[in-house]
Chains A and B, each alone.
Chain A
Amino acid sequence: MELGTRAPAQAQANPLREGLRLERTPAPCALVIFGASGDLTRRKLVPALYALSVQGLLPAGFTVVGAARSEGTDEGFRASLRQAVERHGRLPVTDLQWASFAEGVRYARVDLDDPEGLAPLRTVLEEVDLERGTAGNRVYYLSIPPSGIANVARRLGEAGMTTPPAQSGFVRLIVEKPFGRDLTTSRALDEDLHRHFDESQIYRIDHYLGKETVQNLHGFRFANGIFEPVWSRQYIDHVQITVAESIGVEGRGGYYEESGALRDIVQNHIMQLVALVGMEAPADFSPETVRDEKVKLLRAIRPIHPDDALDTTVRGQYGAGWIDGEQVPGYREEPGVSDASLRETFVALKLDIDNWRWAGTPFYLRTGKRLPRRATEVAIQFRRVPHSPFGGQLASPAGAPVAGAIDPNLLVVRIQPDEGITLRFNAKVPGQAMRIRTVNMDFLYGSSFLTESPEAYERLLLDCMLGDATLFAREDEVEEAWRLCTAVLDGWRAHPPSVDELPDYEAGTWGPKAAHDLLARDGRSWRRP
């Protein structure tokens, strides 16, 4: 069954669209990529657009306009994109399909330092409107460093290129994370953007939300009657969310020195997961209803006072170690990183959510680089049975592991890799004695739905063209996440570690001892993903 994941159809419906894959395709539009020569364009954006084109999901006349500072030609840009799609695309490139896609690929040189620097882009867009019927509809994708975002928005505004062409037309802006560096800069960025774009025109992209398994959290929670009744403090002891990476900073030392794990992962990806796991069921699946529920949850998170930051959070930094049988350098030995860096590459924190559903059921979050394996998982740890009828195997009241105790049930939603859901339950071991053993029941997402999943960017780009903002972060979501993270950053800044205290975990381990202690204090422990 197709759930209502699309915005309501435009006023004048197309009767020939009903019953097909999409009730409607986007209106013809031009997608302008600022930062067209960048890595994201080659690896993700253009392969996603090509896949949409092959699947027939793009409107007739759809056009990609690459905008960058360097000189270039349409032909040269097309050739570089074909190479990128052949290398990074999930679908094979055929001459015919490529020719059809490449017809709608243009290039424009832009100089954002010059007040008239968007003139070549404007000319190209006017040509495209005339030749391909895009009718002034635009999506601007800012695939550029954060420091340049406000400037592009300003230039577009000054050039009069942010106003929708007519009542049914659109001009939208896609902004990549990070959305600021803290609450103040995030608000400043919003103010800058709002000078030229309405909030309804702004699409803040967090590619995690485009992942099939993240979207499946909605399906899992709200399309099954059996989980929601136990999805609360009454039955759940605590929730663990892990976003673990085995890679280091991969040549992005300079960027990471500025951001760190809290800004890079917690403020966006992890807080989105917290919202999806904890939110109430939306009345419908429209963008504002879903995002209202997420914001309600984020607002219910108990603020962390900067003075308490060290009690409820743990920061860490990796030193040299071994991963996958290979020796890897420590963070401070990475290119672009100061040898006295205090930047965190690991964060663990405990959140309390003050509402009726979750009061007393903490959410433990952790993320880090150079952990033993790549894994993004949400683990719902249920309460232990109140009494074991099998003798001698009683659970401790605090929920701490006891030798021989019956393990509590555990539900793990694996977001990557090996997307799926595992339920841990207890069963009798065959034999004369009444011995109980834990078994896992695995649902592998791919084994039941072997249709190849679309890439996150395919879904998100299409949604933006359709005007469906459900899977994009709204201003207040971003702000609530920053409110929490900024308090933590303030607390950390007030109590910096000494240079000698870091690194405090070896690459290839599950983080510093303090992270273990954070849970041990509550009589709990991290699970091994």
Chain B
Amino acid sequence: MSAAALETVRSGHVSGLHAVTSALAEMRGSMLRAGGDDTRGMRLSVLTLVVACADRASAEKAGEVVERMASRHPTRAIVLVGDPDGPARIEADLSLSCSATGGQQVCMELVRLEVGGESARHLRSVVGPLLLPDVPAHLWVVGAAPLTQALSPDALELCERIIVDSDAYPDPAATLAAVALVTAAVGPLPAIGDLAWRRIRGWRELAGRVFDTPELRGFVQGIEDVEVRFAGTRPSAQALLFGGWLRSRLDRPGFRLPSITPIPDGGEDEGGELLGVVLNASHRDRRARIEISGDATRRTTAVSVEGAMRTTSATWTVGVERPGIVALVGAELEEQGPDPMYAAALVAAVGEAR
């Protein structure tokens, strides 16, 4: 959809936490008082998004992403940088931005919060009062912020969903193991959203779709071995999760562990992106080979089925658009509750990586 132009209608800077909430209320009231007929007398919010950043530079980038999501997600966003070793302070840049499309006005409150000193070790007490009541709070851990903090008891208690990117860390396998430990310990909530998992969604759809056809439906329970190819040299979270997903869905006698194959010269795809999946399966007296390969713009599925009498083959290509960070995080914000497929894939992936 075409994003509506975002217009910052109020902004300001305050020091201290109490000043943040009162300034936000004042900004909202001031906008409503000044508004014309198209300004509705109510606030629509679907969630609070807390964005945890390692430093000011990543906070700036994350703030831009949040602003680009604003017209789709009426949200209060708190972009947070903590510096426990710095001087004690709480400084906030506030803005109220609205977009109007077809008479519908959607507003986002953006709080860029820098917390220094001892307060930065007690972020729950800083963030808690800023959460909107009665709507979910999501925590987006930007980049490779330390997982010990991102998945700390404080964060787990405060948020309904924690969004991480397990491919952003230098050792994706260890990251997945850490996430798996936390999910096993805390139960279904908070839910974990993993951007690496979301990146492979299109591949999962394609792999699933192959077996929707009546001719191939029988082969899905006869998949024997799988090869997952990815760009890079070290197994990426995407590749591990894809293998884990297949293993969790298909685990049965005769199914061999997926082999994860690095393609060092993966062209522009150095971020651990998947490059291909090969599935070999048998059903009754026939064998099938399914290869899905692709890049940033297209994916091709080639199927060949070998029987006693004849061999048939088919190929089809679909155009794809690799989702950017705005689309990935935006899609996570629309999720509610845990994703049992991810949980199962994660457990299988961690087992596989060992």
Contact = CB atoms under 8 A, between A and B. Distances in A.
A97 B319 contact: yes
A97 B173 CA distance: 35
A107 to B, nearest CB: 21
Interface string A455-484: 000000000000000000000000000000
Contacts of B125: none
Given A14-B220, A135-B215, 15 more contacts: A15-B220, A17-B212, A19-B339, A19-B340, A25-B212, A56-B202, A56-B209, A61-B316, A96-B297, A100-B316, A103-B316, A135-B214, A439-B41, A444-B40, A450-B73
B1 interface: yes
A18 B1 contact: no
Nearest to A418: B103
Contacts of A24: 212
A245 to B, nearest CB: 19
A1 B339 CA distance: 11
A15 B279 CA distance: 15
A451 B103 CA distance: 16
Interface string B189-201: 0000000000001
Contacts of B207: 16
B318 interface: yes
A168 B218 CA distance: 13
A446 B105 CA distance: 9
A14 B208 contact: yes
Contacts of B61: none
Interface string A10-27: 001011111111001111
Contacts of B341: 18-19
Contact count band on B:
35 or more
Interface string B38-80: 0011101010000000000000000000000001111000000
A214 B208 CA distance: 31
A446 B249 contact: no
11 contacts: A12-B217, A16-B204, A19-B341, A20-B208, A27-B212, A96-B297, A96-B298, A100-B318, A135-B214, A439-B41, A450-B1
Contact of B210 (A54, A60, A418, A439): A60
A224 interface: no
B104 A452 contact: no
B193 to A, nearest CB: 13
Interface in A249-282: none
B208 A17 contact: yes
Nearest to A168: B214
Contacts of B37: none
Closest 5 CB pairs of A and B: A96-B319, A19-B341, A16-B208, A452-B1, A450-B72
Interface in B213-251: 213-215, 217-218, 220, 246, 249-250
A20 B205 contact: yes
Residue of A99, A441, A447, A448 contacting most chain B CB atoms (<10 Å) = A447
A287 interface: no
Contacts of B208: 14, 16-17, 20
B159 to A, nearest CB: 19
Interface of A: 1, 12, 14-21, 24-28, 54, 56, 59-61, 94, 96-97, 99-100, 103, 133, 135, 168-169, 418, 439, 441-442, 444, 446-448, 450-452
Nearest to A419: B104
Interface string B103-123: 111100000000000000000
B309 interface: no
Contacts of B205: 20-21, 56
B8 interface: no
Contacts, number: 111
B105 A16 contact: no
B46 A448 contact: yes
Nearest to A446: B104
A24 B298 CA distance: 22
A464 B324 CA distance: 33
A450 B212 contact: no
Given A60-B209, A60-B301, A447 B318 contact: no
Contacts of A25: 209, 212
Contact of B249 (A12, A15, A448): A15
Contact of B104 (A19, A28, A97, A447): A447
Contacts of A100: 316-319
B85 interface: no
Nearest to A417: B102
Contacts of A133: 213, 215, 314
B106 A60 contact: no
Nearest to B279: A16
Contacts of A54: 319
Interface in B242-266: 246, 249-250
Contacts of A451: 1, 72, 334
Nearest to B345: A19
A16 B220 contact: yes
A447 B44 contact: yes
A24 B339 CA distance: 18
Contacts of A16: 204, 207-208, 211, 220, 246, 249-250
B74 A447 contact: yes
Interface in B1-15: 1
B336 interface: yes
Nearest to B248: A15
A450 B106 contact: yes
Residue of B74, B102, B209 contacting most chain A CB atoms (<10 Å) = B209
A127 B297 CA distance: 30
A27 B214 contact: yes
A1 B215 CA distance: 32
A448 B44 contact: yes
Contacts of B334: 451
A440 B249 CA distance: 50
B242 to A, nearest CB: 11
Nearest to A15: B249
A105 B215 CA distance: 22
A442 B339 contact: no
Contact of B42 (A15, A17, A99, A441): A441
Given A20-B205, A60-B316, A15 B212 contact: no
Contacts of A96: 297-298, 319
A14 B221 CA distance: 9
A400 to B, nearest CB: 29
Nearest to B2: A452
Contacts of A28: 212-214
B336 A1 contact: yes
Given A21-B205, A442-B40, A15 B71 contact: no
A97 B317 CA distance: 9
